[in-house]
A and B are shown apart, each in its own frame.
Chain A
Amino acid sequence: MSVAEHDTTDVDAPVPGPRERTVSAITGEGGQELSSRAGMGAKELLREVGAVLRMSESEAAALADIEADPDEDQTMIINMGPQHPSTHGVLRLMLELQGETVLRCKPIIGYLHTGMEKTGEQLTYMQGGTNVTRMDYLSPLNNELAFSLAVEKLLGIDGDIPERAVWMRMLLSELNRMSSHLLFLATNGMDIGAVSMMLYGWREREEVLRFFQKVTGLRMNHNFIRPGGLAADLPAGWRDDVLDILEMLPSRMEEYEILMNGQPIWRERLQGVGVITAREAMALGTSGPILRSTGVAWDLRKHMPYLRYDQVDFDVVVGAYGDAYDRFAIRLNEIRESMRIVYQILDRMPQGDFRVQNKKVTPPPRARIDESMEALIHHFKIFTEGFKVPEGEVYVGIESPRGEIGCYIVSDGSSNPYRMHMRAPSFVNIQAMPHMMRGGMVADAVAVISSVDPVLGEVDR
């Protein structure tokens, strides 16, 4: 069934599906076999009875001017956002309601569009990290990691990164996953109504941010993972700091589980809300906890390992029902899995260099700049002109707390990327929201948004 064969703009029109074409002549009952995925159209893949509101904003505004007939059972289009207290940033939703039931929904994004991809073309590869780290501002180190891995692949030095640098990257990435999921617990709690969870989640996050401040110098938006390795080595005493965090967390996680899972209101509000099937989730391209909540056990760290994830032991947390409760439980348990990984990293962190010693990419150590003219010039050239990256294009995808974050870079041989595109997980995951909200109540809309856990910085870039 090619695109030309039916009009995709009218989503409610009946469509001759592939099943009608494989009629079995023997039984006369119609085709019984399940058609292949390649032959299915968007409607079947999405069990779409019209979950997405495809109406431009000006049309919706024009509708508001029409006199509503009070007798008719009309649907109402309301606007949620872009400034609303559900703390997920500037997401705007146009909801079509019939009474309290959500029929269709259109997420309107772009309120945080920063032109980062255009800015990325103006900045050098060394500066690219500062740009990219502000996309998903809840897990900035993962953005930097995706970007750095892509640049290193283009440079051809991805095999030369020292072991210590790789393990340090893993440590920071997992701690970032923990802090992002703790923030998810906090905001999810607040959205559902357990407001004290907001304070607890932030309390734990502060501990992790304190460690980040000690290592990278900043609490957020670190620009620490750079092409070639990292910006600096771990400070003395880092092991004790990490152990403090790891020892403090488990008992508190127990408390949160009791606080949230133990109360029936929580379960009522999340179980069965925002259900999405595995086929829909894959058809929409979602990844991360959303895909795992539907039962598809796909985690890039396990199944397409990068860094040294194939050498550490951890489980992929998978849900069964595809609802908001599963997504909450997955993220809660992923914090525990990350803690497991961090324990192993603590034991196995190798000695060595924190960045590759490649004159092209690595600036000289600061002390040498005082002594040597070449070192000074070398430093100057790297930080102003930047290093040139050979022509080519590459895509690298890693597992961020929200799903697969990928970096697609096209290089033209100069010191700035020709095209830098980040595949943001939340951008794709937001497409799943109308399908999750359909048929639910307006009050569940907040729970759904919260369970998708979008970060508008990476949605809009």
Chain B
Amino acid sequence: MSDNGPAAETQEQLHGCPVIESRGQRVVLVPRGDYVKVMKALVADGFDMLVDLTGVDYLQMPDRNVGAGVVPERFEVVVNLLSISRRERLRVRVQVPGDEPTIATLFDVHPGSEAHERETFDMFGIVFEGHPDLTRILMPEDWQGHPLRKDYDPGRIPVQFKGANA
């Protein structure tokens, strides 16, 4: 039952976007331009609860294989949806380029994305266009830098006891 993750492709399409399978979970790869349209269509399908919206910085995995011929970009916005009526989960992954990290907001479709998008902006610097209040949520408001980016140092101070990592 071991599978190679996102490389296991199917011909399945959902609202025009390829669907792949990752460890038994369905993942829809949505292009950035169709993002809000597809999310609305998914709501109409029954995926009415937004469980999670987060980002990933693939700076250290530039040659990764996303699947279904999708071109990988530096950032990904990952949205987890839940359908209470169908008891199903669905994951949506959108590629966001590193030199222009903007994407439309989901606030109108899922108001619960407000805090998630603020956090993703704070941690990654991905700008959500149309968000009502895109300010830092976890770091102080005047903090410089986006901590979860791979080029942001973890900020460890050197200690005499070395654990498994530097």
In the assembled complex, which residues on chain A have CB atoms less than 8 Å from the CB atom of B107?
A: 3, 8, 42
Closest Cβ–Cβ distance, residue B53 to chain A (whole Å)? 9
Contact size range, B = 35 or more
Q: In the complex, which residue of chain B has the Cβ closest to the Cβ of A407?
A: B52
- Measured CA separation A1–B109 after assembly (Å): 9
Q: Which chain A residues border B17 with CB–CB below 8 Å?
A: none
Contacting A156 at CB < 8 Å: which of B2, B37, B82? B2
Q: A42-B111, A153-B23, A283-B110 are in contact. Are A412 and B60 (CB under 8 A)?
A: yes
The A-B contact count (CB < 8 A) is: 173
B16 within 8 A of A: no
Q: Chain A residues near B156 (CB, 8 Å)?
A: 122
Is B148 part of the binding interface, using a Cβ–Cβ cutoff of 8 Å?
yes
A385–B164 alpha-carbon span in the complex (Å): 7
Q: A56-B135, A122-B154, A395-B91 are in contact. Are A36 and B80 (CB under 8 A)?
A: no
Per-residue CB proximity of A112-123 to B under 8 Å, as 1/0? 010101110111
From A230-238, A313-321, A349-357, A423-431, give the one contacting chain B: A423-431
- Residues in chain A near residue B11, CB distance under 8 A: none
- Given A3-B130, A36-B44, A386-B164, A393:B22 Cβ within 8 A: yes
B147 within 8 A of A: yes
Listed residue (B56, B115, B136) with the most chain A CB atoms within 10 angstroms of its CB = B115
Give the contacting residue for A118; candidates B6, B36, B147; CB below 8 A. B147
B12 adjacent to chain A (CB < 8 Å): no
User: Is the beta-carbon distance between A37 and B138 smaller than 8 angstroms?
Assistant: no
CB neighbors of B among A21-64 (8 A): 36-39, 41-42, 45-46, 48, 52, 54-58
A residues in contact with B50, CB < 8 Å = 285
In contact, A11 and B80 (Cβ under 8 angstroms): no
Find out whether the CB atom of B80 lies under 8 angstroms from the CB atom of A423.
Answer: yes
- Complex Cα distance, B114 from A298, in Å, reads 23
- The answer to whether B6 touches A392 (Cβ under 8 A) is yes
Q: Which B residues from 57 to 75 make CB contacts under 8 A with A? A: 57, 60-61, 64
Contact status of A8 and B130, CB under 8 A, knowing A285-B110, A395-B91, A418-B60: yes
Assess whether B25 is interfacial by the CB under 8 Å rule: yes
Verify A2–B110 contact, CB threshold 8 A: no
Shortest CB-to-CB span from A288 to chain B, Å, is: 12
Which residue of the partner chain A has the closest CB to B27? Answer: A393
B1 touches A156 (CB 8 A): yes
Closest to B123 in A: A117
0/1 string, B150-162, CB within 8 A of A gives 1: 0000111000000
Contact A41 B108 (CB under 8 A): yes
Q: Is B5 positioned at the interface, with any CB of A under 8 Å from its CB?
A: yes
Q: Are A392 and B5 in contact (CB under 8 A)?
A: yes
Set A37, A54, A154, A404: member contacting B23, Cβ < 8 A: A154
Query: In the complex, which residues 115-166 of chain B have their Cβ closer than 8 Å to any Cβ of chain A?
Result: 115-116, 119, 123, 129-133, 135-141, 147-148, 154-156, 164-165
Q: Which residue of A lies closest to B106 (CB)?
A: A3
Residue of A nearest to B131 (CB): A8
Give the docked Cα–Cα distance between A419 and B114 (Å): 21
Smallest CB gap from B84: residue in A = A298
User: Which of B56, B107, B138 counts the most A-chain CB atoms under 10 A from its CB?
Assistant: B138
Q: B136 touching A110 by the CB < 8 A rule?
A: yes
Complex contact A159–B1 (CB within 8 A) = yes
Closest Cβ of chain A to B107, distance in Å, is 5
Q: Report yes or no: A110 in contact with B138, Cβ–Cβ below 8 A.
A: yes
Inter-chain contacts of A38 with B (CB < 8 A): 40-41, 43-44, 109
In the complex, A145 has a CB within 8 A of chain B: no
Chain A stretch 428-449: residues in CB contact (< 8 A) with chain B = 428, 430-431
Q: Which residue of B4, B5, B36, B43 contacts A3 across the interface (Cβ within 8 Å)?
A: B36
By a CB distance below 8 angstroms, the chain A residues around B6 are 392-393
Is A243 in contact with chain B by the CB < 8 A criterion?
no
**Distance A113 CA – B132 CA, assembled complex (angstroms):** 23
Decide if B84 touches A404 in the complex (CB within 8 Å).
no
A430 lies within 8 A of B115 (CB): yes
CA distance A298 to B104 in the complex (A): 30
Question: Are A286 and B112 neighbours in the complex by a CB distance under 8 Å?
Answer: yes
Beta-carbon contact of B49 and A282 below 8 Å:
yes
The reply to whether A283 and B111 form a contact with Cβ atoms under 8 Å apart is yes
Bound: A224/B131 CA distance, A: 40
Question: Chain A CB within 10 Å — which of B1, B133, B136, B148 has the most?
Answer: B133
Contact A393 B5 (CB under 8 A): yes
Q: Is B95 an interface residue (CB 8 A)?
A: no
Please give me the residue from chain A that is nearest to B105 by CB atom.
Answer: A3
Interface residue from A41, A110, A410 paired with B56 (Cβ < 8 Å): A410
Partner of B84, one of A117, A124, A127, A296: A296
Query: Chain B residues near A1 (CB, 8 Å)?
Result: 108
In the complex, what residue of chain A is closest to B1 when comparing beta carbons? A156
Q: Across the interface, do B51 and A285 meet the contact criterion of CB distance under 8 Å?
A: yes
Residues of B within 8 A of A46 (CB): 111
A370 to B154, CA, bound (A): 38
Residues in chain A near residue B112, CB distance under 8 A: 283-286, 428, 431
Alpha-carbon separation in the docked complex, A9 to B128 (Å): 13
Q: Which residues of A contact B57 (CB under 8 A)?
A: 419
Let me know if A9 and B132 touch, CB within 8 A. yes
Is B102 on the interface with A (CB-CB < 8 A)?
A: no
* 19 examples of A-B residue contacts, CB within 8 angstroms: A38-B41, A57-B141, A110-B140, A113-B139, A115-B147, A118-B154, A154-B23, A282-B48, A282-B84, A397-B89, A406-B51, A408-B78, A419-B57, A421-B54, A423-B51, A423-B52, A423-B54, A428-B112, A431-B115
Q: Please name the 8 residue pairs, one residue from A and one from B, whose CB atoms are nearest each other, closest first.
A: A285-B112, A392-B5, A38-B44, A54-B133, A423-B52, A284-B112, A110-B138, A42-B111
